[in-house]
Amino acid sequence: MPNASPLVECIVNVSEGRNDATLAALAAAISGVPGCKLLHQDAGAGANRTVFTFAGTPDAVFAAAYKVYAVAVERIDMRAHHGEHPRIGAVDVCPFVPISGVGMEELVARTRVLGEELGAKLGVPVFLYERSATAPHRQNLAAVRRGEYEGLPARGKDPGWQPDYGPALNPGFGATVLGARPFLIAWNINLAPEVPLDVAKNLAAKLRGSGRNGRPGLFSGLKAIGWRIPEFNRCQISCNVVDADATDLAKVYLTAVSLADSPGARVTGSELIGLIPERYLRRAGKTFCFTGGREAELEAAVAVLGLDDLGAFDWRERVLEEVMS
């Protein structure tokens, strides 16, 4: 759509899910930028992490992202941070996704400008990843995050892992991972409360594309780990669908249901983090919808994936196009 208005989405992951005042300050920083709209806020106390999804013009979205970092530098101290989710810093990862009227190349250039600004003005060590990566070994988030916050002092001594911008070390903030990428679906598959963590980890290894010990998994477009979330009193298979066009959520979910039956585990439903483009949710429900049509397919997807397992789920509040309209 060459004549479409430039529109960019940012899905910033902040290492804070428990302090309401800090979360309110972060939300206000985003909402206070003209031309930028906070679409969704997803906080997890057990993970001690919040995902803020916002969109708008490129100038507005990048200005809002800078303000998020400024608040995080002031209010989040990683030396006291504990949570279930892997993390490398106060703002763990900050991806930018083109929606319309803007190309990936422009976003890559803008992430580099933002990274330089964060390093120079806020003292944040910045690693560029995905399409913005400055070297092949820095493209994968898991590789950049390896060792997490606690491993940063040792990594700072490795010439191959110096930040792209900013100091080698910021003890209070940690570091951040920043870049432009295609859309990603963050989504967790819920296991019954009695299922142990080792079963969750084994199921994740079977599902994810990288597999385990050199043996590939079933879905090449999927990243997954097993973890336990105390607030839900259960384990989850925490998934990132990195190739949403090639990865059907319903197939992944039903495969997990089938695999879980083998070790005597049980899948109870799933949890969507943030927002999802309509086409991916509709595809998950289409095969199971007898009447056809947009709303019927979306309702079927919610039922098939068990998206209301942990609480009420209204697709009208979670489909990207619906929220943006």
Please, which residues have CB within 8 angstroms of residue 15's CB and are 6 or more apart in sequence? Answer: 48, 49, 76, 78, 81, 83, 87, 89, 90, 91, 92, 174
Cβ-based neighbour number of residue 83 at 10 Å: 17
* Token pair listed for 273: 């983090």
- Residue 163 to residue 239: CA distance in whole angstroms: 27
- Residue 259 to residue 210: CA distance in whole angstroms: 17
| 137 is an active site residue | no
Distance set, CA 70 to CA 117, 171, 177 (Å): 11, 16, 15
Residue type, 126: V
- Active-site entry in 40, 81, 82, 85: 85
Asked if 119 and 126 touch (Cβ cutoff 8 Å), the reply is yes
DSSP strands (E only) in 45-103: 49-56, 91-100
φ/ψ (deg, to 5) at 131: -65, -20
Could you say which DSSP state residue 6 is in?
P
The residues that are catalytic are 85
